[in-house]
């Protein structure tokens, strides 16, 4: 994901409509208009675009919106830098909603844009965003426990390399009595996936 401004434009279009303009935001200031118009047209007409539930893309989008980074040089750079600037001592978060089993972060995006326009400090926005993500994960687990009667939660995936998100999520889950599991010897990102694939392939070959 080399250009975080792309998912930022997608989240803006989904939240405010495809024709909304944001000249105060970094993607408008730092991305050439020709590129921005092309991607916005692709999003509006769904040309070479796909829906994604990737948590990482949301982190990329927020990093772009607050002006942190529009281009990355290595995997996860925007999300890493977003974690690094998180202000301490901020406990509040943004609103989110649920649509069936889908978490709707459009209320959070709307508020983030409002705060950026008002000149709110990026570290404070980053802190509230991390708090929001942790709160959404905890609430989703709470709802699943009520319906599925499950109390064990395994936190995995590349986003949980983010120690601030991991700590906030663990605190919320443990406060509600969940039994939580985190990575210790195997990484939560693609390295863990590759190891899992190797284990499955080994078992398939053994059975043959």
What residue ranges define each of the domains in the chain, with the CATH number in brackets? 5-207 (3.30.420.40)
DSSP class per residue in 107-129: HHHHHHHHHHHTT--HHHHHHHH
The CA-atom distances, in angstroms, between 97 and each of 129, 173, 192 are: 14, 19, 31
Band (pLDDT 50/70/90 cuts) for residue 34 is very high
0.95 surpassed by pTM: no
| Percent of the chain that is helix, strand, coil (3-state, to 5) | 60, 5, 35
Residues 104-158 pLDDT 10s: 999 999 999 999 999 999 999 999 999 999 999 999 999 999 999 999 999 999 9
Structure tokens at 76: 């996860």
Residues 152-205 pLDDT 10s: 999 999 999 999 999 999 999 999 999 999 999 999 998 999 999 999 999 999
């Amino acid at each position: 994901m080399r250009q975080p401004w792309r998912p930022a434009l997608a989240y803006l279009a989904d939240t405010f409509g495809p024709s909304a303009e944001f000249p105060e935001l970094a993607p408008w200031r730092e991305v050439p208009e020709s590129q921005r118009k092309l991607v916005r047209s692709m999003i509006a007409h769904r040309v070479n675009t796909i829906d994604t539930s990737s948590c990482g893309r949301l982190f990329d989008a927020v990093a772009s919106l607050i002006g942190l980074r529009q281009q990355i040089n290595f995997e996860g750079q925007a999300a890493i830098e977003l974690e690094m600037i998180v202000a301490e001592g901020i406990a509040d978060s943004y609103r989110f909603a649920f649509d069936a089993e889908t978490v709707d972060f459009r209320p959070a995006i709307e508020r983030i844009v409002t705060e950026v326009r008002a000149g709110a400090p990026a570290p404070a926005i980053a802190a509230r965003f991390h708090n929001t993500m942790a709160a959404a994960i905890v609430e989703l687990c709470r709802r699943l426990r009520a319906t599925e009667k499950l109390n064990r939660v395994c936190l995995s995936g590349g986003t949980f390399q983010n120690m601030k998100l991991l700590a906030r999520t663990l605190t919320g889950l443990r406060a509600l009595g969940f039994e939580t599991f985190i990575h210790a010897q195997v990484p939560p990102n693609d390295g863990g996936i590759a190891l899992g694939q190797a284990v499955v392939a080994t078992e398939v070959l053994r059975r043959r």
